[in-house]
């Protein structure tokens, strides 16, 4: 445990930030899984809505630096492909 006041503060702030990042990442994974289950059940309308939610969460995570912007772009592309194959 740190003794210096600024080091104590850094530990507290980094713990808060880590918890926040974990929550955002967890919500992102949940949104993606929700979309994939709707695609698996061939529900086009709810899959479209779930895709919009997943894309929004991916963009937010990329803007915050949680995931790389190219990784977010790649995942969005793959999700969109899944929806397009379902619609076709």
Q: pTM for the full model? A: 0.87
pLDDT tens for the 88 residues of the chain, in order: 899 999 999 999 999 999 999 999 999 999 999 999 999 999 999 999 999 999 999 999 999 999 999 999 999 999 999 999 988 7
pLDDT for res 88: 76
Which domains are seen in the chain, by residue range?
5-87 (1.20.58.110)
C-alpha R_g of the chain: 17
Q: At a CB cut-off of 8 Å and minimum separation 6, what does 62 contact?
A: 68, 69, 71, 72, 73
User: Phi/psi at 41 (nearest 5 deg)?
Assistant: -90, 10
């Amino acid at each position: 445990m740190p003794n210096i006041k600024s080091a104590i503060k850094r530990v507290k702030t980094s713990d808060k930030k880590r918890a926040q990042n974990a929550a955002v990442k967890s919500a992102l994974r949940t949104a993606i899984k929700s979309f994939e289950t709707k695609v698996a059940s061939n529900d086009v309308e709810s899959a479209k809505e779930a895709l919009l939610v997943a894309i929004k969460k991916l963009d937010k995570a990329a803007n915050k630096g949680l995931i790389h912007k190219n990784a977010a772009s790649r995942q969005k592309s793959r999700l969109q492909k899944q929806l397009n194959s379902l619609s076709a």
